Structure 1
Amino acid sequence: MTVINRFSSFYTDLASMQISELSHIYSDDVLFIDPIAEHRGINAVEKYFDKLLHNAKHCRFDIHTKENTEDDKFIVTWTMEFTSSRMKNGNPIRVDGLSHLQVADNKITFHRDYYDLGQMIYENVPILGRIVKKIKRGLA
């Protein structure tokens, strides 16, 4: 199984995954970047996922496309669905995004996620959400 297939399988249901599985996908010196933070090394990535999943009741990704842009580079598009007791009264939140991945020796060495943090967080916080949505409507 290729690392991209392992990646896709792993992210299908994050809430049921084991943190130890990350080392089968990511290299020891991986650089993982998303709109929230930057993490260097597998240990930092494992700690980050442990914290994220501790607060999520449910988290899964629908993988839409996996495009090989060069020999060792991939673009993966996805929709994430998660629930958190801290946001939107525990109702599901859906966020569209993409991951830029670089691979060496069948492990991911670079992972950068692109998604709208407003769609994920700001719009789902009770008072702030109303303000952000009003601003977006005004800009449209």
Structure 2
Amino acid sequence: MSAYLRHFADTFATLNAGSLHRLGELYSNDVQFRDPLHQLDGLPALRSYFEKLYTNVEDIRYDLLDVDETAPGHGYLRWNLHLRHPRLSRGQPISLQGCSHLRWAQQVYLHHDYFDAGALLYEHVPVLGGVIGWLKGRLA
């Protein structure tokens, strides 16, 4: 594994509201970021996204499970996300598994996250979460 990927993984896992200035050392100015809920182009948009994310959550933490460089400048991070948001699950902790696909030269220019958006959001929204739980039970 490259020293850069290890540095990226370690830095990303420790980001918080007070360290978002470090995004510029991780990502290129023209970074493309995608996840099941967002599509962002450019470092300013990514910085704004993270600022809102870290402002609105009461607690957020990534546990890295696996870091794998599959080719030079191409790799994956597998992680568990733990967060508490006042509007989700009545502010109780939520955990979610996911994976990040990364491409980089000097810095990451492509970051795609893969996770179950339903497990993150829809199952933890009042009323809607109960309906989804009921549907899952009916399908089992």
Query: Where does 1:49-88 land on structure 2 (aligned, <5 Å)?
Result: 49-88=50-89
1:21-64, Cα deviation, whole Å (9 max, x unpaired): 10110011100001111111100100011111111011110100
User: Is 2:44 the counterpart of 1:43?
Assistant: yes
**Which amino acid counterpart does residue 118 of structure 1 have in structure 2?**
G
1:52-107, Cα deviation, whole Å (9 max, x unpaired): 111101111010011111111101100000001111121110010000000112x1
Q: Partner of 1:126: helix, strand, or coil?
A: coil
Give the 3 Å change call, closer, same or farther, for CA 13–134 of structure 1 in structure 2: farther
Give the 3 Å change call, closer, same or farther, for CA 14–93 of structure 1 in structure 2: farther
TM-score of the pair, normalised by structure 2: 0.92
Q: Which residue of 2 aligns with 1:112?
A: 112
RMSD value over aligned CA atoms? 1.5
Deviation at 1:16, TM superposition (A): 4.8
Give the 3 Å change call, closer, same or farther, for CA 31–21 of structure 1 in structure 2: same
How many pairs does the alignment contain?
A: 139
Q: Which residue of 2 aligns with 1:128?
A: 128
TM-score of the pair, normalised by structure 1: 0.92
Unpaired segments of 5 or more residues in structure 2?
Answer: none
Contact 2:17 2:54 (8 Å CA) reproduced: no
Q: Structure 1 vs Structure 2: percent identity of aligned residues?
A: 32
Q: Partner of 1:86: helix, strand, or coil?
A: coil
